[in-house]
């Protein structure tokens, strides 16, 4: 009897934890009752727990059918094979897609239209791994078998194609780091990331440096010419 009750206690604890997470992170949530009945992100997470349980027990077709039903009712598609940590919060949620081999850590927040997807037809691990305490803004695409480190923030609309170190803020298409460990980051090495904007800035910096060197050369030539003219004038006077 105790063996049966223990899983039930754990299940109820996780439900309460999920509800508390929504109340903590969404100022629009006014009551537990509202959260339970009106938050599609929460419904998608609860449905995923069931489909993932079926997936791990090799009931693959049943797991996919359950996840597709959840997608129909919530607008959120989470593959049954995806691994999700504690206290995930999906805000608004419509259009969120989480691929089969995705791994999501604890205390992660996803906004609407986020995609944790692949980049082709690779087999095996082909979706992102998201660390703990990560916030992923609306419309972000995180693609491929990459790692987003802990305590990161990804700006809305970004496309992340490379791994992101811990404690970083990234933005852009493709995404590049703008803050790391609380300090502003300026990309100076074009090999660090393939970003058209950074390429233009780097090119302008090189051109400005070349112009400065040319100006210094011209100034030196002018000074020599002026010194030579003064010397010739002195010789005539003498």
Domain match, 36 and 79 both: yes
Rounded to an integer, what distance in angstroms lies between the CA atom of residue 77 and that of residue 48? 9
Domain match, 126 and 145 both: yes
CATH number at residue 125: 2.160.10.10
Closest by Cα among 166, 81, 180 to 123: 81
- For residues 25-40, average pLDDT: 94
Domain match, 102 and 127 both: yes
Going by pLDDT thresholds of 50, 70 and 90, the confidence category of residue 25 is: very high
Closest by Cα among 199, 192, 200 to 165: 192
Domain match, 74 and 54 both: yes
Rounded to an integer, what distance in angstroms lies between the CA atom of residue 218 and that of residue 224? 10
Domain match, 201 and 113 both: no
- The number of distinct structural domains making up the chain is 2
Question: pLDDT per residue over 86-109, tens digit each?
Answer: 999 999 989 999 999 999 999 999
- For residues 116-132, average pLDDT: 90
Higher pLDDT, 4 or 98: 98
pTM: 0.75
Residues 6 or more apart from 150 whose CB is under 8 A from it? 105, 131, 132, 133, 134, 166, 167
Q: Is the pLDDT of residue 7 over 70?
A: no
Domain match, 199 and 94 both: no
Q: Is the pLDDT of residue 124 over 80?
A: yes
State the alpha helices, DSSP H only, in 57-173.
Answer: 60-74
Domain match, 230 and 137 both: no
Domain match, 198 and 128 both: no
Q: Which tokens hold the place of 203? A: 């090119």
Write the burial class of residue 24 (CB in 10 Å: 0-12 exposed, 13-18 middle, 19+ buried).
exposed
User: What average pLDDT is seen over the chain?
Assistant: 87
Domain match, 46 and 148 both: yes
Percent above pLDDT 90 for the chain:
66
83-84 sheet: strands from edge to edge: 83-84, 103-104, 129-130, 147-148
Under a CB-based contact definition with an 8 Å cutoff, are residues 74 and 54 in contact? no
Domain match, 89 and 136 both: yes
State the alpha helices, DSSP H only, in 57-195.
Answer: 60-74
As a 3-state breakdown, the chain gives helix, strand, coil percent values, each rounded to 5, of 45, 15, 40
Domain match, 26 and 92 both: yes
Identify the pLDDT of residue 134.
97
Nearest-5° Cα angle at 71, 65 to 73: 110
Identify the pLDDT of residue 2.
45
Domain match, 42 and 149 both: yes
Nearest-5° Cα angle at 12, 11 to 15: 90
Q: Is the pLDDT of residue 116 over 80?
A: yes
Identify the pLDDT of residue 12.
81
Which residue range forms the structural domain that includes residue 217? 189-238
Q: Which tokens hold the place of 121? A: 């037809």
Question: pLDDT per residue over 54-77, tens digit each?
Answer: 999 999 999 999 999 999 999 999
Domain boundary among 185, 206, 221: 185
The half-sphere exposure of 135 on its side-chain side, counting CA atoms within 13 A, is 10
């Amino acid at each position: 009897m105790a063996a049966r009750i223990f899983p039930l206690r754990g299940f109820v604890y996780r439900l309460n934890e999920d509800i508390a997470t929504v109340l903590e992170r969404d100022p629009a949530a006014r009551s537990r009752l509202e959260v339970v009945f009106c938050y599609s992100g929460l419904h998608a997470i609860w449905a995923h727990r069931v489909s993932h349980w079926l997936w791990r027990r090799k009931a693959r077709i049943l797991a996919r059918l359950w996840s597709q039903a959840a997608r129909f009712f919530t607008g959120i598609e989470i593959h049954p094979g995806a691994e999700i940590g504690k206290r995930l919060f999906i805000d608004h949620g419509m259009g969120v897609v989480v691929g089969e081999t995705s791994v999501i850590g604890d205390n992660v927040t996803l906004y609407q239209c986020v995609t944790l997807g692949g980049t082709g037809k690779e087999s095996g691990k082909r979706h992102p791994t998201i660390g703990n305490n990560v916030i992923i803004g609306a419309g972000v695409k995180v693609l491929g078998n990459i790692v987003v480190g802990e305590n990161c923030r990804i700006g809305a609309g970004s496309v992340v194609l490379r791994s992101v170190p811990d404690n970083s803020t990234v933005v852009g298409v493709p995404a590049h780091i703008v803050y790391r460990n609380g300090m502003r980051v300026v990309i100076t090495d074009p090999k660090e990331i393939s970003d058209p904007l950074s390429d233009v800035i780097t090119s302008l910096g090189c051109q400005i440096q070349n112009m400065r060197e040319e100006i210094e050369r011209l100034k030196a030539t002018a000074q020599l010419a002026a010194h030579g003219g003064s010397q010739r004038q002195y010789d005539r006077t003498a």
